[in-house]
Amino acid sequence: MIQTPLLPLEVYREIKEMTARFSAEHIRPIAEELDKNENFPDELYRKMGEQGLFGITVPESYGGNGLDVYAYAIIMEELSKGYASVADQCGVIELITTLLSTYGTDYQINKYTQDILKTNIKIAYCITESEAGSDVSNVTTTATKTQKGWVLNGSKQWIHNAPIADIGLVLARTEPELGHRGMSIFIVDLHSKGVSRGPKDHKMGQKASQIGALFFDDVLLLKENLLGELNKGFYIMMSVLEIGRVGIGALATGISQAAFERSLDYAKTRKQFGKPIAANQGIQWMLADMATQIQAGRNLVHQAALQLDNKITAGTACSMAKQYASDVAVKVTADAVQIFGGSGYIRGFEVERLYRDAKITQIYEGTNQIQRNIIAKRILSD
């Protein structure tokens, strides 16, 4: 059953128009440059903060926008139409500020949340390890209790913002014998003694989202560095995965929509055998399938967002949205390259970048194989 948005439809239209305008004016014109240079400029970061594009669902009392997941999905799609790496930055900040505002103490919220949203500090979400990707329960980083707090040891890899982040939320084992029931989250100053960084990894796509490794060697943490309840870190991290999957589904939809729009324009203007290639039924069918699949993915994303907003169990809906929308992104961008022909395979053509940007959406925030496991478990248990 389709749920009702919490806010008047006019509010969402204004949010969509504002974000689309920002994306068209400030993001898309420099997307190729960001992809080439593999960095996220501070100036753009600040502009996004000033525009209120961070902390979408975070309460206004903590410096956020106090909006809902449906609004967040709309914003993520529009940002991604400009460049998915930019939307990805919005998504990471959304997850971390949601964790802080939900589980943080007054001291932690006051110390970090507004500075993150005002872009005074950069953050990282530190879960993944070499043997703990889809299987988060296999994390080996440890935090050993001391009289004054904790000592952190271990490493993380493929961490978004690792090369540039100031603060990291780190998942570590605090009681190893308890398995995933013995994990906790710590707020770690990444400029602390004992913290080191690996080189920036060079990715296939979404290159402006810098990732890398972090190493922790006897890093001293105080008691106030613990976020939330001791040994509840696994569950706390999992609590934001549903909104994270909606965000990635929306991001993937933005990539798809951008590829479709470029393909449609090209098909109308590119002539072969004396007529636009859009006159050929083969191209028409490709465009029809693209439009249909994008809308179906968008509908799944919006449905999942509305279920979250209306406090309806949404785990399966979020997995369906993320899995389908990201699969569509890979297919649609591949079709876009096909429509462009040889040009689509050349650097500097937008669809070539979009094709590279799409692939990771099937992998991060839970691989699509994991999403299918979640969906299958639910439908088989009914």
**Whole-angstrom distance, CA of residue 30 vs CA of residue 370:** 34
**Whole-angstrom distance, CA of residue 159 vs CA of residue 161:** 6
**Whole-angstrom distance, CA of residue 103 vs CA of residue 99:** 6
- Identify the H or E element spanning 210: none
How many Cα atoms within 13 Å fall on the side-chain side of residue 173? 18
Structure tokens at 254: 């933005």
Rounded to 5 degrees, φ, ψ at 99 are: -60, -45
With a CB cutoff of 8 Å and minimum separation 6, the contacts of 47 are 22, 26
Q: Say if residues 308 and 260 touch (Cβ distance below 8 Å).
A: no
Catalytic residue among 77, 129, 350, 365: 365
Q: Say if residues 169 and 228 touch (Cβ distance below 8 Å).
A: no
Q: Say if residues 188 and 167 touch (Cβ distance below 8 Å).
A: yes
Structure tokens at 25: 């004016």
Structure tokens at 136: 């988060």
DSSP annotation of 27: I
Beta bridge partners of 171: 185
To the query of whether residue 365 is one of the catalytic residues in this protein, the response is: yes
How many Cα atoms within 13 Å fall on the side-chain side of residue 320? 20
- Identify the H or E element spanning 218: strand 211-222
Sign of the alpha-carbon dihedral angle for 83, 327, 93, 141? negative
Structure tokens at 297: 């993915």
DSSP annotation of 129: B
| Residues involved in catalysis | 365
